[in-house]
Chain A
């Protein structure tokens, strides 16, 4: 045992250091476990401050002892290079682990183990955990709003058609993709609108005030996306146009909508816009809101598409012009297909932002998912369920948004290798 300085771990006394270090680390883990699960404070004899942080102190000391560079032990080296490379890192590592140990079990308890799943009234929620009965009872309302139960199949069918059509886009060969997209842009909205609001073919008329819940979120997002796309395209082309009047109009329009928050735009559509219509006519509130959101997102979409248009090499424009193509032919046949492909990730991001922005429509009285939860939590029979409601909504949105962002990241990777 030469050069054995407890404070300076070195390779010669490798085994002893590992032994003592592991001992300390294990001690710290025992401390934190007993603290959390057994409510037992091993280091209670120390003053308050020290005993609270004792697992951390002991653990860090233990990690310090095993921090031996190039020890020859593969496992030890991996740990030392990654989580134990210096003092700061070891403190952070242990801190994170201990926080997880301390707080994950109670959260899991609240979520799953102590939660109530069975029952149909608030009285069935007897335990300390989350009252998922609330979500279960109100689920239909959260999904469909005030839409009558008997007619909910119509919304389901409308969305089924949408997903199937989108699925076809990927499966069909290149020739037919154009037609599917045109169909989605022009024909599908009419079909869906008639299906959901009714009034034709013997379907019962459901006014838009009754639409709500997650289906309203998706309806608003889908319609806004479908319509903001062409508008954004024209705006982007207008901004890059050589004609000054068109260029300045486009710039003004884009900057105007990008510079104001969505909430003021929604207020404008709900409170100010009716003034601008002739006496006696008034537009359905949902339609006003969708128009407002469409114009708002079109401005952002225009910037994204403009990025794509700018990224194309000038050669493309020149080649098209040399073939004698006019402005519109040039753009629709050559420029736009390439530019759009470049910015598909940007478009996906804009759509993601759109979905995340739709909960705002509750400020003008349209009860989508967040609004429905607000309504449910103030129902006298279900007071005090704010946490469960918003956690549920958060989960739903997180799943949707995470799936979309993963998809767009994959898309980005796939498309970037193509070039």
Chain B
């Protein structure tokens, strides 16, 4: 390609010039407008005191901390609801996806109806339904729904026992150690299977290790676990509340439910497409060498199906994370509500705050995209 060719050069120059002039025009206007109003542009406000509290936070936070800290709280809340949503969406999605392929007519039909219903109603409406209609109908603390006397469901939240650890770090190390041990076991089993065809029961061994190592820390590592069970306490004549334990706010619960059920429909379709995408010949060949149905599923179908399932599913995970921004519509303190909502209204610094918020989401989606590209390359079928 001849770079000196004007036909190639000129369109590029025009594009670049127009882009820069558009950006310059916007920047210039913004400068003029802000000068007129006496507003200054700068990110220094991030170190100012926030002066507002946040109702739900994973880390220590109160109003005397900076806006930057408030941003961090919002970010952690976003990640929290995204992780919970992804976990349950995958669980429900895989179940429904496999269910759609079941030979049981009822199960297949039920799965299909689930997908068709929850896929075609906007997520916002589903969220409104769960939050305003379903969870608002829960009873007050004094009439809480009692789950085996350790956990209570009320309109103010779901109160669960608080885990009180001593020597938690030891427990954590044991989990890490068990994971490493499992990796070695899996490698060993794979080697044995490829060399001499011996089948090592990896699942049971891994399970055993996962249970055994942490258990040992309880016995000899000095790790103890106590539970603080929420207790109903009376604040005034009619106002009750639960003291102790951890409260999971209904905003978080409804957002997690809505996100999971909505995204699960897409994941279910992906799973179904993936399993159907494995050519029939594979299953027949596996059956002809004497593998049982569950072995076929585990050893032949799933690995190939995963290759088809994972890229669009990762896309759905990304969508779920972005959809968690709907928290702004109900009072769940995620990034959008805390930072692009409260902080924006208190400081008035629209340009800075929205650019930071959009930048954060951009960072998250770009990282997931890069991970996806790497995964695609690594599992691409290396054809001869």
Q: Which residues of A contact B (CB under 8 A)?
A: 81-83, 85, 89, 92-93, 96-97, 242-246, 249, 255-256, 258-265, 267-268, 271-272, 275-279, 355-357, 359-360, 363, 370, 386-387, 390-391, 393-394, 397-398, 401-402, 405
Contacts and interface: CB of A to CB of B under 8 A. Distances in A.
Contacts of B126: 394
Interface residues of B, number: 57
14 contacts: A82-B105, A96-B107, A96-B110, A243-B12, A246-B15, A259-B364, A264-B357, A264-B358, A279-B33, A370-B124, A387-B129, A390-B129, A398-B120, A401-B121
Nearest to B329: A363
Nearest to A243: B12
A243 B8 contact: yes
Contact of A271 (B120, B323, B350): B350
Given A249-B19, A271-B344, A398 B121 contact: yes
B362 A244 contact: no
Indicate the member of B13, B357, B358 with the most A CB atoms within 10 Å: B358
A359 B107 contact: no
A263 B124 CA distance: 11
B329 A397 contact: no
Contact of B103 (A81, A242, A279, A397): A81
B173 interface: no
Nearest to B10: A243
Interface in B1-21: 1, 8, 11-13, 15-16, 19
Nearest to A255: B366
A386 B132 contact: yes
A264 B30 contact: no
Closest 10 CB pairs of A and B: A401-B120, A259-B365, A245-B12, A261-B322, A261-B325, A276-B26, A259-B362, A356-B122, A359-B124, A387-B133
B104 interface: yes
B351 A363 contact: no
Nearest to B26: A276
B365 A83 contact: no
A356 B33 contact: no
B125 interface: yes
B185 interface: no
- Interface class of chain B by DSSP: helix
A279 B34 CA distance: 10
Nearest to A265: B358
Contact of B125 (A245, A262, A355, A390): A390
A329 to B, nearest CB: 15
B297 interface: no
Contacts of A246: 11-12, 15
A243 B364 CA distance: 29
Interface in B122-152: 122-126, 128-129, 132-133, 136
Contact of A83 (B106, B133, B329): B106
Contacts of A405: 119-120
B328 interface: yes
Contacts of A398: 117, 120-121
A393 B12 CA distance: 48
Interface in B331-379: 336, 340, 344, 350-351, 354, 357-358, 361-362, 364-366, 369
Contact of A85 (B103, B121, B325): B103
A153 B91 CA distance: 49
A275 B105 contact: no
Contact of B328 (A92, A96, A263): A263
A355 B124 CA distance: 12
Contacts of B189: none
A279 B36 CA distance: 9
Contacts, number: 147
B351 A272 contact: yes
- Interface class of chain A by DSSP: helix
A386 to B, nearest CB: 5
B32 A278 contact: yes
Contact of A242 (B1, B117, B133): B1
B326 interface: yes
Contacts of B340: 264, 267
Contacts of A397: 120-122, 125
B107 A402 contact: no
B116 interface: yes
A92 B32 CA distance: 67
B323 to A, nearest CB: 7
Contacts of B326: 263, 360
A276 B351 CA distance: 10
A402 B120 contact: yes
Indicate the member of B12, B33, B104 with the most A CB atoms within 10 Å: B104
A246 to B, nearest CB: 5
A390 B19 contact: no
A97 B105 CA distance: 12
B167 interface: no
B48 interface: no
Contacts of B123: 356
Given A261-B323, A390-B128, A96 B106 contact: yes
B224 interface: no
Indicate the member of A85, A93, A243, A357 with the most B CB atoms within 10 Å: A243
Interface in B281-332: 322-323, 325-326, 328-329
Contact of A360 (B124, B351, B362): B124
Indicate the member of A258, A260, A261 with the most B CB atoms within 10 Å: A261
Given A263-B328, A267-B340, A278-B29, A256 B362 contact: yes
B15 A245 contact: yes
Indicate the member of A97, A263, A356, A402 with the most B CB atoms within 10 Å: A263
A225 B269 CA distance: 25
A356 B128 CA distance: 14
A175 B106 CA distance: 49
B104 A394 contact: no
A55 B120 CA distance: 34
A100 B370 CA distance: 45
A386 B323 CA distance: 23
B361 A394 contact: no
A261 B327 CA distance: 12
Contacts of A386: 132-133, 136
Contacts of A268: 354, 358
Contacts of B357: 264
